Amino acid sequence: MSTYPNISALTALLTEKSRAAILAALMDGKFHTASELAYMASIKPQTASFHLAKLEENNLVICEKNGRFRYFRLANDEVANTLEIFMSISPPPEVRSLTQSSQLKRLENARTCYDHLAGRVGVNITNLMQEAGYIERNNNKFIVTAKGELFFRDLGVDLVGLSKKRRSFSHACLDWSERTHHIGGALGNGLFERYIELGWIETKANSREIIITPRGKSGFKDFFGLKI
């Protein structure tokens, strides 16, 4: 009898394409109904409900009830991190249309990774902050330097408040499209929320795609030296 965790139970859940599609859709970090997830996964609502029950039973998603509606979201950022790693070592999607190609390019440029910014923009920002000496890589996490504390204060990011959250502060999250790391954890989420407050980015309904606004293009250039 094996004394190790049953990895096959997890992989069995992911081998079903519809369940995998639902989990990928939930990587936007938002709550969704079974009908919304069915639409995004191109399956029937009844099928989505069946798969969501399995995922909730195995602690991959959580459900909250509001009146007669039930809303689903990934259980936590650890689940999201695991899924992002799986995506980074999985074969790329087979592109069969111009529309699909355009969607993929937009996702590769900027998207949500649960509750923080990922894609080319997220990775480039991380790299530029390291080059500027605001953060330093230490194994699987990023450390904010003294210079970085001043930078984040000027940007309006509350490092003290973020450090009090019951989660990883600033882990290095493997980006599935760029195959390198961006900032995750509480700091990644704090930056993401600040970008939204400043009007630099916008989210899209039922999509992980992130839109960089004209104000964002100026802001990212001024604060990070990033040309988009």
pLDDT tens by residue, 179-212: 899 999 999 999 999 999 999 999 988 888 999 9
Residue range 78-95: mean pLDDT, rounded: 83
Residue 17: what residue type?
K
What gap in Å lies between CA 4 and CA 50, rounded to an integer?
Answer: 28
Is the pLDDT confidence value at 2 over 70?
no
pLDDT tens by residue, 107-144: 999 999 989 999 999 999 999 999 999 999 998 999 99
pLDDT at 4: 64
Give 78's pLDDT tier (boundaries 50, 70, 90). confident
Q: Which residues pair with 66 in a beta bridge?
A: 69
Contacts (Cβ under 8 Å, ≥6 apart) of 212? 110, 121, 200, 201, 220, 228
Percent of the chain with pLDDT strictly greater than 70: 98
Q: CA 109, 113, 117, 122: dihedral to nearest 10 degrees?
A: -50
CA angle centred on 162, ends 112 and 32, rounded to 5°: 35
pLDDT at 22: 95
User: Of 113, 191, 114, nearest to 152 (Cα)?
Assistant: 191
Contacts (Cβ under 8 Å, ≥6 apart) of 203? 28, 112, 196, 209, 210, 211
User: Of 69, 64, 67, 57, nearest to 30 (Cα)?
Assistant: 64
Got the DSSP string for 127-194?
Answer: HHHHHTTSEEEETTEEEE-HHHHHHHHHHT--HHHHHTSSS-SSBEEEPTTTSSEEE-HHHHHHHHHH
Give 84's pLDDT tier (boundaries 50, 70, 90). confident
Q: Which residues pair with 202 in a beta bridge?
A: 211
What gap in Å lies between CA 87 and CA 127, rounded to an integer?
Answer: 21
